[in-house]
Amino acid sequence: MTSLRIIQITDLHLGATPDSILAGIKPLDSFLAVLDALDQDGHGDDLLLLSGDLSGESSASAYSMLNRILRDRDKNVIWLPGNHDDLSLMEEYLIDYPLRSISEIGSWGILTLDSSQAGTPIGRISDEQLQKVSEGLTQLSGKSILVSMHHCPITLGCQWLDKQRITNSQDLYDLLSPHTNVKAVVTGHVHQQFDGLWGNIPLYTSPSSSIQFKPQSENFSISNQPPAYRWLTLERDGSVNTGVKFLSNFNQHPDTKNTGY
Ligand SMILES: [Fe+2]
């Protein structure tokens, strides 16, 4: 394999039924439209990275629907949970996709973390997860590493979402930053794009396959941007090329007056 082509799809917010609605759009339709776009856009999807909030309401039927779609399309998938998910239901109903927190693919390793906490949208990395990161860094010491989790570790200037960032992100940073083979951290949750740095580590957050949040907002605010995904091309030499693609032909439009989700 010359390079590893990953597609990150995040914050699917699938409902319990195919007709479930989120702020005026059907998240199942937008997710399927993203999958269709992958086939047309040509960035390549050796692997899908589903970075949390796969279901918007921890719904078993959403997970089994997702499993069926991914299997029917013959997708290779890594997933991790978000604050709207239920990890035990995911493990039970994503039957063809067992949870993998450490993956080795060619010259790359991928570490996925659970940054969610029960009963709150605020992120935290538990001691157990920090221990797993430590073990993963040892196991993957000869590889370039991509780390992914649901929550963002830093503030982005979107005040209501900034309050939900990982409260103990410094603990994770202190583990990761000495390792120069950690090439990127990729997150979801904020439903908006950020390409920048977390200290010395490249950090990428991504828009959702459903609805987007308005950047630089004090309070909850939905933007009128369409569904999107992030493509990442991981090269053998450890370099990362990445970008975000918004769908150009999705004909459902979010209700930007919604005040919650
Ligand atoms: Fe989330």
Q: How far is the CA of 221 from the centre of ligand 1 (A)?
A: 14
Q: What is the pLDDT of residues 134-182, one digit of tens each?
A: 999 999 999 999 999 999 999 999 999 999 999 999 999 999 999 999 9
Q: How far is the CA of 72 from the centre of ligand 1 (A)?
A: 26
Cα gap 163→155, rounded to integer Å: 8
User: Token pair of 67, please?
Assistant: 């499993």
Q: How far is the CA of 236 from the centre of ligand 1 (A)?
A: 31
> Sorting pLDDT into bands at 50, 70 and 90, what band is 42?
confident
- Whether 229 maps to a domain, the answer reads yes
Q: How far is the CA of 11 from the centre of ligand 1 (A)?
A: 6
pTM over 0.95: yes
Per-residue confidence (pLDDT) for residue 213, from 0 to 100: 97
Q: How far is the CA of 183 from the centre of ligand 1 (A)?
A: 23
Q: How far is the CA of 121 from the centre of ligand 1 (A)?
A: 7
Q: Indicate the residue type of 82.
A: G
Q: Could you tell me the residue range of the domain that residue 43 belongs to?
A: 3-245
What is each CA distance from 245 to 25, 41, 250, in whole angstroms?
19, 9, 13
- Whether 43 maps to a domain, the answer reads yes
Per-residue confidence (pLDDT) for residue 44, from 0 to 100: 83
- Whether 146 maps to a domain, the answer reads yes
DSSP labels, 134-176: HHHHHHTTTSEEEEEESS-SS--S-HHHHTTS-TTHHHHHHHH
Nearest to 199 by CA among 237, 163, 153, 234: 153
- Whether 221 maps to a domain, the answer reads yes
Q: How far is the CA of 89 from the centre of ligand 1 (A)?
A: 17
Q: How far is the CA of 84 from the centre of ligand 1 (A)?
A: 6
Q: How far is the CA of 164 from the centre of ligand 1 (A)?
A: 9
The CATH number that applies at residue 64 is 3.60.21.10
- Whether 117 maps to a domain, the answer reads yes
Q: How far is the CA of 82 from the centre of ligand 1 (A)?
A: 5
- Whether 250 maps to a domain, the answer reads no
Question: Mean of the pLDDT values across residues 219-248?
Answer: 97
Q: What is the pLDDT of residues 153-162, one digit of tens each?
A: 999 999 999 9
Q: How far is the CA of 187 from the centre of ligand 1 (A)?
A: 10
Q: How far is the CA of 175 from the centre of ligand 1 (A)?
A: 24
Number of domains present in the structure of the chain: 1
Q: How far is the CA of 69 from the centre of ligand 1 (A)?
A: 22
- Whether 159 maps to a domain, the answer reads yes
Q: How far is the CA of 138 from the centre of ligand 1 (A)?
A: 29
- Whether 34 maps to a domain, the answer reads yes
